[in-house]
Amino acid sequence: MAHQVKGVVAKSKGEPVSIETIEVPNPGSGEVLIDVKACGVCHTDLHYREGAINDEFPFLLGHEAAGLVEEVGEGVTGLAVGDFVILNWRAVCGHCRSCRRGRPWNCFSTHNATQKMKLDGKELSPALGIGAFAEKTLVAAGQATKVNPEAKPEVAGLIGCGVMAGLGAAMNTGQVSRGDSVAVFGCGGVGDAAIEGSRLAGAHTIIAVDIDSTKLEWAKEFGATHTIDSSKVDPVEAIREITDGNGVDVAIEAIGLPITYEQAFYSRDLAGTVVLVGVPNPEMKIELPMIEIFGRGGTLKSSWYGDCLPSRDFPMLIDLYLQGRLELDRFVSETIGLDEVEEAFHKMERGEVLRSVVIL
Ligand code: APR
Ligand code: ZN
Ligand code: ZN
């Protein structure tokens, strides 16, 4: 018997989302049914409803979630009913060319549930293969990562997407290490997480750059040692001043704009690293003098999902949180109900929140 539950659905491009009764199958082979407890509102959910990802409407939104395993399908090992899990969109296959080379965090063939959830008999496309603005959702077993159940669901769920992207941009992709100087462009949820990741990794100087003074104040709470309001001063000059004229070891772009990518590019020291974790739109282009790319040496990298490996990173980050070494509560700007997702999108667009989190 399939389950009938409430879920937040985007039915067509640009239209406000609505709460619908959807059908969630019992878990089949390799699948688990999740009793969702909390799910954060991420930019990607809004991008789906705007048709910016693909046209496979209707979408079941939500993907930054934590919950309890309610039922396990045939052949599932390592998960049991009642386990507290964070959902991930990188259930590694173990067989693709990247997994075979020992780089599962780049897996090119990640798993999702095989069976489809439905609305009025029509297949739903779950956001990032998850779909967790719903009382229950169906995922592949590898998409559910068991963590310490002492963490609150609304906090734990954030590790499933945006906060992981930012922490990982610093810790995994940027390889920030003890004594480094770092600049982070954009201090939303992702940028603030990159600031925290840099602090955790032992960075000595952490410079937050934003055009919103409130965001800069918040950035200090996550570990920024310096702030720059780039609506008022040239951030490249200001970063040079803070770093004895040299620039930073690692510059992290957490917005997804050509202008801030260029600023990040010019803010780094010789042989430094630039990490792009902000997601650009398909029309954006950058122009850089090739001699500068060559002459400055170093590394230009992109960070997909913070190059995380959920089985390695999620339990570790939750443990650091429970030990008081990782600030996560501060990312939760508000908790809301399923019926407030549309309003949360508007708050996100107006830059009023780091994260709105749906509690179920
Ligand atoms: N210069 C500096 N800061 C800027 C600029 C700019 N030109 N434009 C916007 N910002 C700041 C905003 O003031 C805000 O604080 O960037 C921050 C962006 O934060 P959010 O909108 O909250 O976005 P966030 O959730 O952090 O995601 C950032 O990462 O994963 C991607 O899709 C996501 O592309 C998005 C990016
Ligand atoms: Zn793989
Ligand atoms: Zn997301």
pLDDT at residue 15, as a whole number: 95
pLDDT at residue 158, as a whole number: 97
Closest ligand 1 atom, CA of 191? 26
What's the number of CA atoms in the CB half-sphere (13 Å) around residue 29? 0
**Cα–Cα separations (whole angstroms), residue 33 to 29, 135, 148, 167, 269:** 11, 11, 19, 28, 48
pLDDT tens digits, 261-280: 999 999 999 999 999 999 99
> Which residue's C-alpha comes closest to atom 27 of ligand 1?
190
> Which residue's C-alpha comes closest to atom 20 of ligand 1?
188
**Cα–Cα separations (whole angstroms), residue 142 to 67, 134, 146:** 14, 19, 10
pLDDT at residue 121, as a whole number: 95
Structure tokens belonging to residue 66: 């934590």
- The answer to whether 12 touches 48, Cβ cutoff 8 Å, is no
Q: What percent of the chain has pLDDT over 90?
A: 99
pLDDT at residue 196, as a whole number: 98
Which amino acid, 102? G
Which amino acid, 217? E
Q: Tell whether the model's pLDDT for residue 20 goes beyond 90.
A: yes
What spacing in Å lies between the alpha carbon of 257 and ligand 2's midpoint?
30
pTM for this prediction? 0.97
pLDDT at residue 219, as a whole number: 98
Closest ligand 1 atom, CA of 43? 32
Dihedral through CA 314, CA 316, CA 317, CA 320, nearest 10?
A: 160
> Which residue's C-alpha comes closest to atom 32 of ligand 1?
279
pLDDT at residue 153, as a whole number: 98
Residue with tokens 């709460």: 19
Residue list, CB under 5 A from ion ligand 2: 93, 96, 99, 107, 109
Length of the chain: 360
Which amino acid, 27? P
Please tell me the number of the ligand nearest to residue 234's CA: 1
What spacing in Å lies between the alpha carbon of 36 and ligand 3's midpoint?
16
Q: Is 210's C-beta closer than 6 angstroms to any atom of ligand 1?
A: yes
Cβ-based neighbours of 266, under 8 Å, separated by 6 or more: 236, 247, 292
Q: How far apart are the C-alpha atoms of 68 and 287, rounded to whole Å?
A: 47
Mean pLDDT within 156-181: 98
pLDDT at residue 1, as a whole number: 74
What spacing in Å lies between the alpha carbon of 321 and ligand 1's midpoint?
24
pLDDT tens digits, 67-85: 999 999 999 999 999 999 9
Q: Is 190's C-beta closer than 6 angstroms to any atom of ligand 1?
A: yes
Q: What percent of the chain has pLDDT over 70?
A: 100
Mean pLDDT within 88-100: 97
- The two counts, helices (H) then strands (E), for the chain are 11, 19
What spacing in Å lies between the alpha carbon of 64 and ligand 3's midpoint?
6
Q: Is 160's C-beta closer than 6 angstroms to any atom of ligand 1?
A: no
pLDDT at residue 6, as a whole number: 98
Q: Domains (ranges, CATH) in the chain? A: 3-160+327-359 (3.90.180.10), 166-304 (3.40.50.720)
Dihedrals phi, psi of 42, to nearest 5 degrees: -115, 155
Query: Checking DSSP bridges between strand 205-210 and strand 226-229, what pairing results, if any?
Result: parallel
Query: Checking DSSP bridges between strand 355-359 and strand 332-336, what pairing results, if any?
Result: parallel
Mean pLDDT within 53-63: 97
- The answer to whether 132 touches 5, Cβ cutoff 8 Å, is no
Q: Tell whether the model's pLDDT for residue 183 goes beyond 90.
A: yes
Q: Tell whether the model's pLDDT for residue 89 goes beyond 80.
A: yes
Closest ligand 1 atom, CA of 354? 22
Q: Tell whether the model's pLDDT for residue 353 goes beyond 90.
A: yes
Q: Tell whether the model's pLDDT for residue 25 goes beyond 90.
A: yes
Mean pLDDT within 148-158: 98
Q: Tell whether the model's pLDDT for residue 341 goes beyond 90.
A: yes
User: b/e string for 171-201 if b means 16 or more Cβ within 10 A?
Assistant: bbbbbbeeebbbbbbbbbbbbbbbbbbbbbb
Specify which residues 9 forms β-bridges with. Answer: 18, 60
Q: Tell whether the model's pLDDT for residue 182 goes beyond 80.
A: yes
